[in-house]
Structure 1
Amino acid sequence: MSTTFLGPDGEPRCGWAGATPEFLGYHDTEWGFPVRDDRRLFEKLSLEGFQSGLSWRTILAKRDDFRTAFHDFDIEQIARFTDHDVDRLLQNPGIVRHRGKIEAVVNNAGRALELVEREDSLAAFVWRYEPDAQNRAAPQAASTSAESIALSKELKKRGWKFVGPTTVYAFMQAMGLINDHLHECVIRPDVERARIDRRTQHQRPL
């Protein structure tokens, strides 16, 4: 069962945020806040793929190097990567040097461009899988959901790689498709307000 810890301000936060110093800022300012920017969504899907079998601490520590190596996760630029670029990235000590995962990011960039052409944006597609809050498991009590399974299945159908249900669920947690902060966490209300603001802005006529 997930527990809280008291941050430096004496307020409770999700227990994992206290595991290492760099987690606190990520937890307080990024994790769970809604994201509709295609580049950031693609980055997170890519980094979650790299995390497979590793810890998020490892990926977070290397995130700046990943951003440099992958041109700040510019989808169009990555889609043009060649085998030479893959070989070059395999020599980069700043990232996770796993050929299959690197090739998956290049492949997925191409698939993302196809998706954007059909769906207008990656965000428009991904946010269709925002779950109904009434049917959700308790915060941090699950590693997959019906929605993450459905999104994973659809992405795989469209040719994406390293997007299993657990990877996709972690992506949904981080990108704010669900508010998975513990109920006692001081950041949870901030995330919920941001999610409400996102819905209001999205529904506002142009």
Structure 2
Amino acid sequence: MEINRCSWCGTDPLYVAYHDTEWGEPVKDDDRLFEFLTLETFQAGLSWITVLRKRENFRKAFDAFDYKKIAHYPDTKVEALLLDAGIIRNRLKVNATITNAQAFMNIQKEFGSFSDYIWGFVDGKPLQTHCKAPSDLPANTELSTELSKDLKKRGFKFVGSTVIYALMQAIGMVNDHGEDCFRYKALS
């Protein structure tokens, strides 16, 4: 039996698995939220499959996305990361990850968790969209722009509106699976 999926995931087994098991699934665990935030930061200007293929390398290089450790990375760790061919070696994004880890913990102090903060923008429930085709998907929305501005005000880097909309899609704040995709109803 053929399964209908969003066409953007193509046939690459890694991409298909990501689509089928992660993309759009609500994430409310702070550790996983920081992982997605970090990966989306590195994805800026690149394709998601590029980041997805390096995900395990990122996990190793960034101490399993332990934001408490990352927030205190010394310059020697930054230099080591910039020599790691297994990740995307961009100094601005590496430094942004450290800054974001610090800002992430500040939000936790203020709101109790990053999850409570970010999910508060959608009253704790995923927004349901009604996309017929990938071309219906916006690159950003008023809400992603509002969230982006608030994150920047709180000291986050590489969190433009488009990056934040991709994050919102990835962590299930918005259900952007196509209506004919088997995941759409499961996440509605």
Q: What TM-score range do you get, normalising by the shorter chain? A: over 0.9
| Counterpart mapping for 1:8-87 below 5 A | 9-87=1-79
Look up the SS of the partner of 1:111 in the other structure. Answer: helix
Task: Return structure 1 stretches of 4+ with deviation > 6 angstroms.
Answer: none
RMSD of aligned Cα (Å): 1.6
Q: Structure 2 vs 1, CA of residues 42 and 129 (structure 1 numbering), >3 Å: closer, same or farther?
A: same
2:116 match: secondary structure = helix
TM-score normalised according to structure 2 size: 0.92
The amino acid across from 2:106 in the alignment is E
Equivalent position of 1:118 in the other structure? 110
2:92 equivalent to 1:96? no
Judging changes above 3 Å, is the alpha-carbon distance between structure 1 residues 99 and 191 closer, same or farther for their aligned structure 2 residues? same
The corresponding residue for 1:199 is none
User: Which residue in 2 is equivalent to 1:143?
Assistant: 139
Corresponding residue for residue 173 of structure 2: 177
Determine the structure 1 residue equivalent to 2:187. 191
Percent identity over the alignment is 44
Q: Secondary structure at the match of 2:168?
A: helix
Counterpart CA distance in 1 for 2:9 and 2:2 is 14
* Secondary structure, aligned partner of 1:10: coil
Name whichever of 23-32 and 12-21 sits farther off: 12-21
Alignment partners' CA distance in 2, 1:163 and 1:174:
14
Deviation at 1:129, TM superposition (A): 1.6
The structure with the larger Rg is 1
Paired residue for 2:164, among 154, 162, 168?
168
Q: Can you give the 5+ residue segments of structure 2 that lack an aligned partner in the other structure?
A: none
Question: Using the alignment, how far apart are the partners of 2:130 and 2:77 within structure 1?
Answer: 42
Tell me the distance in 1 between the aligned counterparts of 2:130 and 2:6: 16
Secondary structure of residue in 1 paired with 2:5: strand
> What secondary structure is seen at the aligned counterpart in 2 of 1:187?
helix
Is the CA contact 2:27–2:33 (under 8 Å) kept in the aligned structure 1?
yes
- Mapped partners of 1:113, 1:127: distance in 2: 16
Aligned counterpart for 2:155 among listed residues 156, 159, 178: 159
* Structure 1 unaligned blocks of 5 or more: 1-8, 193-206
**Please, what TM-score do these two structures have when normalized by structure 1?**
0.84
1:133–1:96 Cα change, 3 Å: closer
